[in-house]
Amino acid sequence: MRMPRLGLGTWHMGENRARRGAEVAALTLGLDLGMPLVDTAEMYGQGGAEEVVGEALRGRRDEVFLVSKFYPHHAARKPLRAACDASLKRLGVERIDCYLYHWRGPVPLQETVSTLGELVAAGKIASWGVSNFDVGDLEELVAVPGGDRVAANQVLYNLGTRGVEFDLLAWCGERGIDVMAYSPLDEGRLVGHPVLAAIAARLGATPAQVALAWVLREPRVCAIPKAAREEHLRANRAAADLRLDESSLAELDRAFPPPRRKTALAMI
């Protein structure tokens, strides 16, 4: 089962019970619009986001490619098994489609990989991946037994943060590893840029749609923008159909230059 290209992020969801209904409605609309990838984590809202996702998924689990993430301090065998069970309970599902190591911690990779393999064998997860891993981390990962089964790497990637283009995107692409772009709109900071505004006006789109379409121009990249308002959800879905011409892409490269050297992996 391949990961869909465009989905729904849930960072900051589940933090306020007064917003629960609106958050569930937003995810439900996103699924209705054809964005079946849902990304969450045990960290978001201290489990609250997983509960929101679980409510939105009721009666339509088979429509969704579900991703969740576990803390680094849960990466050892016993805590990881317990963390997975807790996430499954909050989500109200029997299986997570791709379970991600949220960022690298001190637990030996071999122990984490071995435990993830046990969770796959038990049917609790269909696949597993990582988040915020750079090429060096991934090379260590695939060197341990079973590490080459890594299915995805979720990283910060947007027009203003292009460091992964230097080597990470190609490294993952050569090995069939999906790259998930989190914060593809740089938490909204990109939408006020004049170059994006000019291109958007020319294409009959919004600056946010241009920024999202730019991320999705890469066939090996998935994007998980978070949106809680109907107009933003509809705009995000339309961005998947927006094609940027060569002139627009060149203009964006001038405004947001691609990397010329290796830099430390950016994280939020």
Map out the domains of the chain as residue ranges.
7-183+221-226
AA identity, residue 23: E
The list of the chain residues with pLDDT below 70 reads 1
Helices (H), the chain: 20-32, 48-57, 77-91, 109-121, 135-143, 168-174, 194-203, 207-216, 230-239, 246-255
- Whether pTM > 0.85 for this model: the answer is yes
pLDDT at position 220? 87
- Up-side HSE of residue 31: CA atoms within 13 Å toward CB? 21
- Spatial contact of 2 and 29, defined as CB atoms under 8 Å apart: no
pLDDT at 1: 59
User: Rounded CA gap, 109 and 145, in Å?
Assistant: 10
Contact predicate 186/160, CB 8 Å: yes
Q: What is the pLDDT of residue 2?
A: 78
pLDDT in tens, 20-29: 999 999 999 9
Question: Which pLDDT score is estimated for 188?
Answer: 86
pLDDT for the residue numbered 232: 94
Q: Bridge partners of 153?
A: 130, 179
CA distance 127 to 153: 12
Residue 128's beta-bridge partner residues?
99
- Single out the residue of 47, 3, 45, 7 nearest to residue 26, CA to CA: 7
Can you say how many angstroms the Cα of residue 264 is from the centroid of all Cα atoms in its chain?
A: 19
User: Which residues are registered as beta bridge partners of 86?
Assistant: none
The reply to whether 182 belongs to the active site is no
Instruction: Give how far Cα 163 sits from Cα of 129, 142, 196, 259, Å.
Output: 20, 22, 20, 6
CATH architecture of 7-183+221-226: Alpha-Beta Barrel (3.20)
**Is residue 265 within 8 Å of 134, Cβ to Cβ?**
yes
Catalytic residue (one of 44, 101, 157, 182): 44
CB neighbourhood size of 180 (10 A): 24
Between CA 102 and CA 138 the distance in angstroms is 14
